[in-house]
Amino acid sequence: MARWQSCNILHTAPDANRLWQFDARSGALNRESGSAPGQPMPSGLTEKSWTSLWQKKLNVAWLPPENVFLRVIELPRSSFGETLSMVELQLEKLSPIPVTQIVWTLQLLPQAPAENTQTVIVVIVARGVVEEFLGKLETQGYLADQLEVPMLDQFAATTAAEDGAWIYPALLNGQNAALVAWWFGGALRSLSFIVLPANGDRAKSLKEQLAQLVWAGELEGWLTAQPKWHLVAEGAIAGEWEAFLRDGLGEPVEAVKPMPLPELAAHTARRATTADASNPALLPAEFSARYHQQFVDRLWLRGLMATGVLYAIGVVIYFCATGVLGYQTRKVEQQVASISGSYTNTLQLKARCEVLQERQDLKYAALDCWKLVSDNLPAGISLQRFSFGDGHKLALGGTVTPDQITPITDFYDTLRKAQLNSQPMFVASGGEPLNYRQNGNQVTWNFSLELRRAEEAKR
């Protein structure tokens, strides 16, 4: 039962189709729907989708009673597999149609524990009839997973409390008919259909058919007493058949209320969801395989369609985002174009200002160097070269007498350590050190210093 999430039961009739959906676990009726013959079924109830992969749905259809053959046999009590094998051995004798042209299944009736035999109802249907019925359901959008016979649940619900004949009226191809279940010795002995003619003396025809069935039961040995008659019907059809039986038999008939269709459908749903997997199915295997393949293909197609829709949505979002960004880009470009002239002019003015500022700085740097040299140059020392190159290098050179080498060395150290605005004016390790060369009575000297501002400009 945990295998199925819900179970749909479809009842097709000449006047209308009825569909019930039951919860497979609790057996509660979830929804009931009706439609005209030939009209599509509600897709939300019967169609399987992605959710059916984890919430499994079982679609069951009731076969019309006029297309079903029911046979009752008694077999020794055994396991279900052995019972199935014994039925298969007798199938050619039980079936009115060649075995190669039928589909069949069986239903075990409950027996007392002390009994050594078991009663089996064999359900036989012509394969061509099943295929035609499934074709009609397909045109209505209903793909059945299982075919069932509602009379089996009606038998289980009205199990005879006493021996006798239980008559279940029905319409077979528009004719009044009835299924007669013969219960004797606490067991179901036989199932037989009787059909009333459209014209003529129906009571007489009914009496003759029932007499033949009684005679057949006596010959088989299970009918050992006069049967009691029970009519399982209600409403107008119950009154009509009760009149036929009283006129034809001249005996009292006990009327029994049948199980309502929704309740009968609930019994079928419970039986279908708990059925033994080894029990032969009335639904041909090729139909089951085809329906499963259609379900898989439908999931693939829907998955591809969903992927395509998501891709299309993604493309639309991409193009919308691209359009918005393009619009923003064009707006920025327009703003840039509108201010590009003033921006270029600003850059030019800034460059000119920097050049002028550089010139001014160099001019003052040269004056500062000249003032520093003039203030610290020792007396008697000849300054022959004063060079301020590249705006950052001060080069000095001249001649002294040999006894003036010490003053010139002090002069070099003084310049190298000189400060301007409390900051070193020259780089301590920059420039060329003091160099002097003696030539007779004269000493030629030279050195260079690098302005600190030049080192900061490099950084």
Domain ranges of the chain: 285-375, 377-458
The whole model's pTM is what? 0.67
Please report the pLDDT score of residue 114 as a whole number.
59
Mean pLDDT of 414-433: 79
459 has pLDDT over 60: no
**Cα 36 to the chain's mean position, in Å?**
33
Length of the chain measured in residues:
459
Mean pLDDT of 316-321: 95
159 has pLDDT over 80: no
- pLDDT tens-digit map of 15-44: 889 999 999 888 899 998 888 887 887 777
Please report the pLDDT score of residue 122 as a whole number.
94
Confidence of residue 147 (pLDDT cuts 50, 70, 90): very high
Please report the pLDDT score of residue 453 as a whole number.
64
387 has pLDDT over 50: yes
Mean pLDDT of 173-192: 85
Please report the pLDDT score of residue 2 as a whole number.
46
Please report the pLDDT score of residue 203 as a whole number.
82
Please report the pLDDT score of residue 161 as a whole number.
60
User: Which of 3-7, 229-233, 344-348 shows the lowest mean pLDDT across its residues?
Assistant: 344-348
Please report the pLDDT score of residue 375 as a whole number.
79
Confidence of residue 160 (pLDDT cuts 50, 70, 90): low
In terms of C-beta distances under 8 Å and separation of at least 24 residues, what long-range contacts does 109-112 make, across chains too? 109/155, 109/156, 109/159, 109/187, 109/188, 110/156, 110/159, 111/77, 111/187, 112/186
429 has pLDDT over 80: no
54 has pLDDT over 90: no
CB 259 within 8 A of CB 157: yes
Mean pLDDT of 178-191: 87
454 has pLDDT over 70: no
Q: Which residue has the higher pLDDT, 364 or 67?
A: 67
Q: Which residues contact 205 (CB under 8 A, 6 or more apart)?
A: 196, 197
Please report the pLDDT score of residue 367 as a whole number.
78
Please report the pLDDT score of residue 308 as a whole number.
93
Please report the pLDDT score of residue 361 as a whole number.
67
Mean of all residue pLDDT scores within the chain:
85
Please give the single-letter amino acid code of residue 162: E
- pLDDT tens-digit map of 105-120: 998 887 766 578 888 9
261 has pLDDT over 80: yes
174 has pLDDT over 90: no
1 has pLDDT over 50: no
Please report the pLDDT score of residue 326 as a whole number.
92
Q: Which residue has the higher pLDDT, 401 or 136?
A: 136
Tell me the two tokens of residue 133: 């019925």
> What are the phi and psi torsion angles at 94 (to 5°)?
-80, -35
In terms of C-beta distances under 8 Å and separation of at least 24 residues, what long-range contacts does 168-176 make, across chains too? 168/232, 168/233, 168/258, 169/231, 169/232, 169/233, 169/237, 169/238, 169/241, 170/65, 171/14, 172/65, 172/66, 173/66, 174/14, 176/202, 176/240, 176/241
Confidence of residue 442 (pLDDT cuts 50, 70, 90): confident
CB 170 within 8 A of CB 258: no
390 has pLDDT over 70: no
Please report the pLDDT score of residue 456 as a whole number.
52
Mean pLDDT of 174-198: 85
Q: Which residues contact 286 (CB under 8 A, 6 or more apart)?
A: none
- pLDDT tens-digit map of 348-358: 888 888 777 77
